[in-house]
Amino acid sequence: MKKGCKYGTHRVLEPQGVLTQAAYKIDNNMDIYDNEILVDVQSLNIDSASFTQIEEEAKGDVEKIKAKILEIVGERGKMQNPVTGSGGMFIGTVAKIGEALKDRDLKVGDKIASLVSLSLTPLKIETILDVKKDIDRVDVKAQAILFESGIYAKLPNDMSEPLALAALDVAGAPAQAAKLVRPGMSVLVLGAAGKSGMLCCYEAMKRVGPTGRVIAMVRKQKQADQLLEWGLCHKAIISDATKPIDVLNKTLEANNGKEVDLSISCVNIANTEMACILPVKDDGTVYFFSMATSFTKAALGAEGVGKDVNMIIGNGYTKDHAEITLSELRESATLRKIFDELYV
């Protein structure tokens, strides 16, 4: 087998000198190098911001959604939305392991979920079998390659594959929330009714303690009622994350007139940066998990309103994030039931 770079740069076609995520086009030939893993892929979980953009462009037409995904992968060798820049992740079965990786705790036939973005993963789709618009999932007959540096998780035996896929797709968010939330904090979660939002709410509720407060921002009254009923927040506000002043006023009302210590962005649309920044007190923290976030809008927007806040880019990886997220589904019967009903 040919020797490859740990980070997959041997797959970059254009422009030369960059890593695969930044590359416009990568080589998706499925003949593996000595430090790669070949996977037979059964499902793609498209990043929420990406899927929303594609669905809107296709006006909801499933065949047009399929065609757009095939067009992107055919042109780029990977699933990287040209508008949002984001990808997603996959689940599949290990088909072949490079000679340099034989000492890993992995064997042919293992079911795994990729924990690196499709925006950097060599992917070849033979056919798209189904598009599940309500959960951003695409069932496929395809193959993908993981590099030596690529992280993955073996699928657990105590839950269904679709359930594990739904949770692992957003594993970075609740794991980061676990690191950021402290007892007594006030926390605002924007986009709280989605997968990442609910997991972050759960993690925040677990960690703020009796003196803290978790506020969930959603778009619909039904979502607010459900989150309160499920015990995933103390307060729920109904607003539009593209309207920062409304989000600010409703957050202040829900938090006894005070700004919050931490906001977590789990929205899947653009132009929501200021709704995340305005409600946070000086020296507080804004965690942008959303891939629709603009660094420029966040940085210049905070400067423009004189907000001295710490802003964290939504790194989809943090140590033990897969284990943290799956453990939430194991320890909360309510959360697991919700995910089973919505995403399986």
Q: What CA–CA distance (Å, rounded) separates 310 from 314?
A: 13
Answer whether the bond into residue 210 is a cis peptide, omega within 30°: no
Q: What CA–CA distance (Å, rounded) separates 60 from 80?
A: 19
pLDDT at 1: 78
pLDDT at 314: 82
- Cβ(285)–Cβ(277) below 8 Å: no
pLDDT at 150: 94
Question: How many CB atoms lie under 10 A from the CB of residue 276?
Answer: 30
CA 190, chain centre distance (Å): 14
pLDDT at 109: 97
Averaged pLDDT, groups of 10, the chain, 344 residues long = 93 96 97 97 94 96 98 98 95 96 93 95 98 95 97 92 89 94 98 96 97 98 98 98 98 98 95 98 96 93 97 87 93 94 87
Q: Which domains does the chain have, with CATH numbers?
A: 9-155 (no CATH), 172-343 (3.40.50.720)
pLDDT at 200: 97
Nearest to 226 by CA among 339, 338, 136: 338
pLDDT at 169: 86
Percent of the chain with pLDDT over 90: 91
Q: What CA–CA distance (Å, rounded) separates 151 from 171?
A: 12
Q: What CA–CA distance (Å, rounded) separates 317 from 267?
A: 18
Query: Exposed, middle or buried by CB within 10 Å (0-12, 13-18, 19+), for 5?
Result: middle
pLDDT at 291: 85
Q: What CA–CA distance (Å, rounded) separates 324 from 282?
A: 29
pLDDT at 315: 80
Span 246-305, pLDDT tens digits: 999 999 999 999 999 999 999 989 999 999 999 999 999 999 998 889 999 999 999 999
The pTM score is 0.86
Q: What CA–CA distance (Å, rounded) separates 344 from 84?
A: 26
Nearest to 40 by CA among 136, 123, 156, 152: 123
- Whose structure tokens read 């649309």? 269
Q: Which tokens is 116 given?
A: 């690196």
Q: Which amino acid is at 327?
A: S
Torsion from C-alpha of 274, 280, 286, 289, nearest 10 degrees = -60
